[in-house]
Chain A
Amino acid sequence: MDSSAPVSASAPAGPGARKIIPIAAAESESVGLYEASKKIYPRTVRGMFARWRWAMVFLTQLVFYGLPWAQWGERQLVLFDLAARRFYIFGLVLYPQDLIYLSGLLVVSALALFLFTAVAGRLWCGYACPQTVYTEIFMWVEHRIEGNRTARMRLDAESMSLEKLVKKWFKHLVWIGIAMWTGFTFVGYFTPIRELGMAFLQTRMGSWEVFWVFFYGFATYGNAGFMREQVCKYMCPYARFQSAMFDRDTLIVTYDPKRGEPRAPRRKGIDPRSMALGDCIDCGLCVQVCPTGIDIRKGLQYECIGCGLCVDACDTVMQKMAYAPRLIRYDTQNGMEAGWTRRQLVRRVLRPRVLVYTAILSLLVLGLLASLVTRTPLKVDVVRDRASLARIVEGGRLENVYRLQIMNATEEARDYRIAAHGIEGLSVSPDERITIGPAQSRWVAVRLQVPYGAVPAGSHTVHFDIREERGGIQVSEKAAFLVPR
């Protein structure tokens, strides 16, 4: 079928034919399936949302760059020691067995994302996403070195000169510096950062550490320096499922067409109503400041990261024109159509969907915190010996062998005593004290004995009780005691 033919012309006539909405056949042109991406030169903008964005840049980067340097006693405050399989977070020592906390954290993060998105759109994208934050930092460097939007466009258009070369080289040098520092910091979460710094100065860093510093540095350089909005548009899945979290009461960055249209340039001081014009003067600033290069006046688009810079830009213009601000604003679809006041908007925030998200999120956070606070810093795994089922030993006693992995999740050496209960006459051998070093785990072979013939054949449930001598912490683990026929 010739798809270029106007649809209305090829519509089948006659009774029973499906209704086809005719589409006006405008002049059709032929385009490729791919296009060279156009570079976006966002204009810098001042205003409330821009200030918020910078506040978030400082906050997130203060945490990211600063945290690995903080100390907690003898060690790093936050350290994910993958090689030794121990995670240290403040006073906590987490073992691989504590993976449930990571799962909990991920579920909480996902729910928080749902909640914030349902209430106020893509706040994460606009303010806290590393892609946004590093792009913001890199663009600030670019702006400092190459000048404002028009200067940058001019510089890119002109042929190579010494000045251009110097500017470009300097920009990339600074970018690479920031990127490498970011990579170094990232690795510093997994290897003690002070030692890593010393190792770097003495050029004796491990090959994997070098790899990850460069890998993460390169990713920062490439993503924040070159890919920028392309990551949001083509790689990030968030934009693609935002429609599942948005509803008509979600706050979005939106343009008020009722107030703005018809748009047209005009001189200052002219009453737009007298010329049958809307408030939009079609200056295009909202497009120029947009980091993803979209025109918000076309309505909500998946590229919109909800940063609100167009709001800032439009407000400046509205102020200059002496019009009311917020022609582009955070508003909901319902609010925009019905002309709701702020109070009416806020009332719709407390809708069932948001309440359910909030309830689940609070429950999970509380549960997670409670479980962390009440966590016993001692873990025990019991593994029945795989070689021998049961054996009779001297003295006519029936013996089962177990291996106990005792994990000390504190940062001091601790003494533990092992006891068992569950069967009449059960005794533990060797009845000795076991000392486990700080944040260490050890396998200990332990034997349980009962008098032969005292219990019927079969599998019996027993419990190991491992008690820490000083703190009095106790862990009980179930095991099976086998009595052969």
Chain B
Amino acid sequence: MSDFVNNFWSNYIAAGTVLSILGCMLLLWLTARKRVPSDADNTTGHVWDEDLREANNPLPMWWIGLFVLTIFFAVGYLVVFPGLGSFSGQANWSTRSEYEEDVAKATKALAPVYASYASMPMEDIAREPKAMAIGERLFMNNCSQCHGSDARGSKGFPNLTDKDWLHGGAPEKIVETITKGRVGVMPPMAVAVGSQDDVKNLANYVLSLSGAPHDSVRAGLGKSKFTVCAACHGIGGVGNQAVGAPNLSDKIWLHGYGEAAIMQMVNAGKHNEMPAQEGRLTEAQIKLLASYVWGFSNPATGP
């Protein structure tokens, strides 16, 4: 609770606070003792602007009592809570400790809810409307920022509702992805491929893998260059979930579609990261979340 760079400002604020309280006390004491002259017509004898006279309109005594109470309150408050410079108060209260207490309280209150899903298979959890309502909230708070509110992702952020998985779509795999995070690395391959013309040929070959419009002459020339890519993307470009290499033979283009986008990837490479959530979410939360995400690509078939 000390955001001050040196003690001077802490002392300055503490002194200002204490002096203000003392000043209030002094003011109260002086005004309570002060006597003013009062004429028979209940005015103070003070006249200004020719004929305006000041009436004596005393405040009730309890008014002072209220002020004294506020001073007692202020002193008590400053002893218990932080307020006097960097003094942290007797109760050792801070916004952080309050936040942590609240989190602990909420976690404890929610524990039985999560416990009921602990032994449940994730496939069944995904069919549980109550669990899915929790899953939706978790997703909105933790995942939608990248993957979108409808989990369909956008350029660079995978769509979670289709059957195409970079690292595998089994429930356990999703848990692993959420817990540990994922790093997707596509190294710059231009040097290994050759000239820019070679890269262009290669891009056309990659387009041909999914049957996308392409220049077949260039594709034919680029085919031999694909061997350097096949190490990760596999022969035929079907991808490899063990290293997170995308399937190039389907119609899903995570980092952009078309010749220019593919050339850009080959030339510059890409470092894509899904951050690990294990420090932020509990195991139980991750299990619910993974079940929720699994449910997107495995919708319940009607009874």
Interface residues of chain A, those whose CB is within 8 Å of chain B, are 3-7, 18-21, 23, 25-37, 230, 234, 385-394, 399, 401, 403, 443, 445, 447
Contacts and interface: CB of A to CB of B under 8 A. Distances in A.
B213 to A, nearest CB: 11
A32 B34 contact: yes
Contacts, number: 117
Contacts of A386: 145, 149
Contacts of A399: 152
B45 interface: yes
Contacts of A21: 47, 50-51
For B34, B37, B56, B64, the residue with the greatest tally of chain A CB atoms inside 10 Å of its CB is B37
B47 A392 contact: no
Nearest to A30: B35
Contact of A35 (B34, B44, B58, B157): B58
Q: Closest 9 A-B residue pairs measured CB to CB? A: A388-B154, A26-B40, A445-B150, A37-B60, A35-B58, A4-B37, A30-B35, A31-B38, A391-B154
A171 B108 CA distance: 47
B149 A3 contact: no
Interface class of chain B by DSSP: mixed
Interface of B: 31-32, 34-41, 43-47, 50-51, 53, 56, 58-64, 140, 144-150, 152-155, 157, 251-252, 257
Given A23-B39, A34-B32, A387-B149, 8 more contacts: A21-B47, A26-B40, A33-B34, A34-B61, A385-B148, A391-B153, A401-B150, A445-B150
B149 A34 contact: no
Contacts of A5: 45
Contacts of B51: 21
Contact of B35 (A6, A27, A32): A32
A389 B153 CA distance: 10
A391 B154 CA distance: 6
Contact of A34 (B37, B63, B144): B63
Contacts of A18: 50
A25 B148 CA distance: 84
Contact of B36 (A31, A36, A391, A401): A31
A37 B153 contact: no
Contacts of A447: 150, 152
A483 to B, nearest CB: 14
B207 to A, nearest CB: 15
A392 B60 CA distance: 75
B64 A31 contact: no
B44 A3 contact: yes
A29 B41 CA distance: 11
A28 B148 contact: no
Contacts of B59: 33-35, 234
Contacts of B35: 30-32
A53 B47 CA distance: 41
20 contacts: A4-B37, A5-B45, A23-B39, A23-B43, A25-B39, A26-B41, A32-B32, A33-B58, A34-B31, A34-B58, A34-B59, A35-B61, A37-B60, A234-B59, A385-B149, A387-B147, A388-B153, A388-B154, A388-B157, A401-B149
A28 B50 contact: no
Given A21-B50, A34-B60, A37-B60, A391 B152 contact: yes
B259 to A, nearest CB: 15
Contacts of A401: 148-150, 152
Contacts of A26: 39-41
A112 to B, nearest CB: 30
Nearest to A402: B149
B215 to A, nearest CB: 20
A392 B51 CA distance: 82
B148 A387 contact: yes
A4 B61 CA distance: 24
A25 B39 CA distance: 7
A4 B64 CA distance: 26
Given A28-B37, A31-B35, A391-B155, A36 B61 contact: yes
A404 to B, nearest CB: 10
Contacts of B252: 394
A37 B63 CA distance: 10
A32 B46 CA distance: 16
A447 B148 CA distance: 11
A307 B121 CA distance: 74
Nearest to B31: A33
Nearest to B155: A391
A284 to B, nearest CB: 19
A35 B36 CA distance: 12
B150 A385 contact: yes
For A23, A31, A387, A391, the residue with the greatest tally of chain B CB atoms inside 10 Å of its CB is A387
B45 A4 contact: yes
For B46, B64, B150, the residue with the greatest tally of chain A CB atoms inside 10 Å of its CB is B150
Given A29-B38, A392-B257, A387 B154 contact: yes
A168 B59 CA distance: 28
Nearest to B33: A32
Nearest to B65: A34
B198 to A, nearest CB: 27
B144 A30 contact: no
Nearest to A18: B50
Given A387-B144, A387-B147, A20 B47 contact: yes
B50 A19 contact: yes
Nearest to A394: B251
A206 to B, nearest CB: 15
A265 B148 CA distance: 89
A7 B51 CA distance: 11
Contacts of B56: 31
A385 B147 CA distance: 10
A380 B37 CA distance: 68
A43 to B, nearest CB: 22
B63 A234 contact: yes
A399 B161 CA distance: 15
A310 B143 CA distance: 72
Nearest to B42: A31
A391 B157 CA distance: 11
Contacts of B64: 34
A31 B32 CA distance: 11
Contacts of A20: 47, 50
B60 A230 contact: yes
For B31, B46, B56, B148, the residue with the greatest tally of chain A CB atoms inside 10 Å of its CB is B148
